[in-house]
Amino acid sequence: MATTSPTPPPDASEHQLTLFPIVCDDDVVQFRHQVRAAAVAAGLRLIDQTKLVTAASELARNALEHGGGGLGEISTPRTAGRTGVRLIVEDDGPGIPDVALALTDGASRAGGMGMGLPGARRLVDAFELWSEVGVGTCVTVEKWAR
């Protein structure tokens, strides 16, 4: 899709979108494999592949354990000649009452809330968390080839 806009939003670029249900332990493993394949295809270095796949594993497990299962989306956006991988992991679980707290290191260790969220955030280039109590949680992360 061509665009004349000088700074096209990432969504406007050409990319494939793949959806994965995350409803059991094995789905988390499969999601990791698919994220790895997308990261390799996007030209991410091994260290960045590993960081992204690890973040994906944290997010998928959160969706499974705290959200009661969810959906993972993998896309490979292209902006200004750069390629990346974008993951969206969403669930329609109970939601996170205190997002700031959930993103604080050590808060998750007290149990309950999003395990590994602050860690996953550090492993990626872009991180966005949306959550509403009683509605669900949606996390978007991006990792770009350097």
Interface ranges with another protein (CB under 8 A): 25-26, 28-29, 32-33, 36, 46-47, 50-51, 53-54, 57-58, 61, 105, 115-116, 118-120, 122-123
Query: Shortest gap between Cβ of 105 and another protein (angstroms)?
Result: 6
Q: Is the dihedral of CA 46, 48, 51, 53 positive or negative?
A: negative
- Cβ neighbours around 33 below 10 Å, total: 12
Query: Shortest gap between Cβ of 1 and another protein (angstroms)?
Result: 34
Query: Shortest gap between Cβ of 118 and another protein (angstroms)?
Result: 7
Residue nearer to another protein on the CB measure, 54 or 83: 54
Residue nearer to another protein on the CB measure, 57 or 83: 57
- Cβ neighbours around 99 below 10 Å, total: 17
Query: Helical H runs in the chain?
Result: 25-41, 46-65, 99-102, 117-123
